[in-house]
Amino acid sequence: MSGMLCPQCGARTHRSHTNSFSERLIKALTSYKIYRCRECGWRGWLRNSKSPKRRHTVRTIISLLVTLLITTLLALYLIEKLNTPAPGSDYQQQTP
Ligand SMILES: [Zn+2]
């Protein structure tokens, strides 16, 4: 069992029970858990740094950037295509 350290005194903390509905909701939605320190009485939210969610977040950011890049390139391609006058248009037939 890996114990989280207290941010106030550095002692080992223990898992604390969720008291209210909002605490239960945060616990369900995030990887944070309530810890309590027996040394100084500190009680608060801590997250295990070894959580695999971090890698997932990095992958999400990378995939988001790739999607953004493809969308930007596609938009630039479409703008270039729209700005280029088609051959045989009125613009080229203005010679005196
Ligand atoms: Zn403490």
Model confidence over 39-88: pLDDT tens digits?
999 999 998 766 555 667 888 889 999 999 999 999 999 999 888 776 66
Handedness of CA 71, 74, 80, 85 (dihedral sign): negative
Q: How far is the CA of 55 from the centre of ligand 1 (A)?
A: 30
Q: Where are the domains of the chain?
A: 13-47, 53-84
Residue 35 has pLDDT above 90, yes or no: yes
Q: How far is the CA of 31 from the centre of ligand 1 (A)?
A: 21
Q: How far is the CA of 44 from the centre of ligand 1 (A)?
A: 11
Q: What is the pLDDT of residue 2?
A: 60
Q: How far is the CA of 14 from the centre of ligand 1 (A)?
A: 10
| Exposure string for 31-47, b = 16+ CB within 10 A, e = fewer | eebbbebeeeeeeeebe
Query: Cα–Cα distance between 57 and 42 in angstroms, integer?
Result: 30
Q: Kindly state the tokens that stand for 3.
A: 């114990």
Q: How far is the CA of 82 from the centre of ligand 1 (A)?
A: 65
Which of 1-5, 28-32, 89-93 tops mean pLDDT? 28-32
Q: What is the pLDDT of residue 84?
A: 77
Q: Give the pairing of strands 13-15 and 43-47.
A: unpaired
Q: How far is the CA of 12 from the centre of ligand 1 (A)?
A: 7
Is residue 15 a contact partner of residue 33, using CB atoms and an 8 Å limit?
Answer: yes
Q: How far is the CA of 46 from the centre of ligand 1 (A)?
A: 13
Q: Among 13, 2, 4, which residue's Cα sits nearest to residue 38?
A: 13
Residue 26 has pLDDT above 80, yes or no: yes
